[in-house]
Amino acid sequence: MRRALSSFIIISLGFFLACSTSALPQHGTGILAGVVLGPDDKPVPHAAVTYQSAGGTAPHAVHTDARGHFTIAKLRSDNYDLRATAKGVFSEWEKNVSVRSGKTKSITLHLIYAKEMPKAYQAAPKKP
């Protein structure tokens, strides 16, 4: 009888612990990767990509490589807001981009807004 009761308690305790830990939030890390395109739809090298958790905490920035690509590794599972800027032009904020543990989320940011279009993106005048 005692042995059966002990076994029942151990099995019940194991079941309870297994159920309670599966309900805990996942705190792994994921990757956010992407490309920044200019108003001409070409990749923008060395653009700044600013990102923060969707709650507005801990803003950070990375830069694109020579091909306009960026990678942000080891992000906690959360939703993030991000925006790109380069040569006086910036993108809209991409809101609530979901990064999940063990996954890579890909995104494309388009530089579209400026008070006036910088010369770097203006078409050269056509020769008559």
Which residue from 104, 100, 101, 58 is spatially nearest to 82, judged by alpha carbons? 58
Sheet holding 69-76, edge to edge: 69-76, 29-37, 104-110
Give the pLDDT confidence score for residue 10 in this predicted structure.
Answer: 56
Write out the residue range of the structural domain in which residue 43 sits: 29-114
CATH number of the CATH domain containing 81: 2.60.40.1120
- The torsion angle over the Cα atoms of residues 113, 86, 38 and 61, rounded to 10 degrees, is -100
Whether the pTM exceeds 0.85: the reply is no
Tally of domains within the chain: 1
Report how far residue 50's alpha carbon sits from residue 60's, in angstroms, rounded to the nearest whole number: 6
- Within a domain: residue 5? no
Q: Which helix (H) or strand (E) covers residue 97, if one does?
A: strand 94-99
Q: What are the mean pLDDT values of the chain's consecutive 10-residue runs (128 residues total)?
A: 53 49 59 95 96 85 97 94 93 95 96 70 62
